[in-house]
């Protein structure tokens, strides 16, 4: 009995244990509070950066529309989310990568405003070729498939822009074949919309520059 009483008397007081427990809980709470505040600050900064980025993109789109106001007003080109669209019928005849005279004249009018815009915004111009979903007819001596046709058309536009004064370092070509149609290929009119060339300003990156 005396031994049990001695053990109880030698045990640390309950209030001391409770105090240590509370101190630990407070420490954990403080750490959670600091982490939460830091996370909220990071989210706020990310949101602000995203807002600034979107505002800058919107300003560039407006500037591009202003630079190309003339061709846009004539309806010879379209603008969608910063991408310049030109109907394939304006540039090329069916199953051909040879530039038509009206297409050549149109591209000439785009060189100077695009060159200024790209230089001022430190961007490159990606020229993309697209076709409809109709396969190249067998026996075609020039193209094996829609990929090759879209690539040759993109290259033709790229070379024409360069010949008319666009610095080669500011432009490159890409081919998408029948992929990424703007509308379903359901009839003659829709296929005409999908046969197109697009020009899209893109940011300069180390990866892109290394490929040029």
28 vs 146, which has greater pLDDT?
Answer: 146
pLDDT score recorded for residue 103:
93
Tokens (6 digits) for 171: 């432009």
Give the span between the Cα atoms of 38 and 32, in whole angstroms: 10
Mean pLDDT of the chain: 82
Smallest CA-to-CA distance from 66 within 117, 109, 115 is with 117
Distances (CA, A) of 26 to 13, 176, 199: 20, 60, 59
- Fold classification of 75-211 is 60s Ribosomal Protein L30; Chain: A; (3.30.1330)
pLDDT band, residue 12 (cuts 50/70/90)? low
Question: Are 133 and 178 contacting, i.e. CB atoms less than 8 angstroms apart?
Answer: yes
96 vs 205, which has greater pLDDT?
Answer: 96
Residue 58 has pLDDT above 80, yes or no: no
Bridge partners (DSSP) of residue 203 are 123
pTM of the model: 0.69
Model pLDDT for residues 143-185, shown as the tens digit of each residue: 889 999 999 999 999 999 999 999 999 999 999 999 999 999 9
pLDDT band, residue 95 (cuts 50/70/90)? confident
pLDDT score recorded for residue 93:
86
Residue 125 has pLDDT above 90, yes or no: yes
């Amino acid at each position: 009995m005396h031994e049990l009483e001695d053990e109880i008397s030698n045990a640390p007081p309950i209030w001391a244990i409770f105090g240590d427990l509370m101190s630990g809980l407070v420490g954990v709470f403080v750490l959670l509070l600091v982490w939460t505040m830091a996370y909220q600050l990071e989210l706020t900064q990310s949101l602000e950066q995203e807002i600034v980025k979107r505002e800058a993109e919107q300003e560039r789109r407006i500037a591009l529309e202003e630079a190309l106001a003339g061709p846009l007003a004539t309806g010879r080109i379209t603008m969608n989310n910063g991408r310049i669209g030109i109907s394939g019928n304006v540039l090329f005849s069916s199953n051909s990568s040879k530039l038509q005279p009206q297409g050549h004249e149109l591209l000439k009018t785009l060189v100077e405003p695009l060159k200024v815009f790209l230089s001022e915004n430190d961007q490159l111009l990606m020229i993309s070729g697209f076709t409809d979903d109709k396969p190249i007819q067998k026996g075609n001596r020039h193209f094996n498939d829609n990929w090759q046709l879209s690539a040759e058309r993109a290259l033709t536009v790229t070379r024409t822009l360069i010949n008319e004064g666009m610095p080669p370092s500011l432009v490159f070509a890409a081919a998408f074949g029948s992929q990424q149609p703007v509308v379903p290929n359901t009839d003659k009119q829709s296929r005409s919309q999908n046969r197109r060339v697009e020009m899209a300003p893109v940011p300069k990156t180390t990866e892109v520059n290394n490929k040029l």
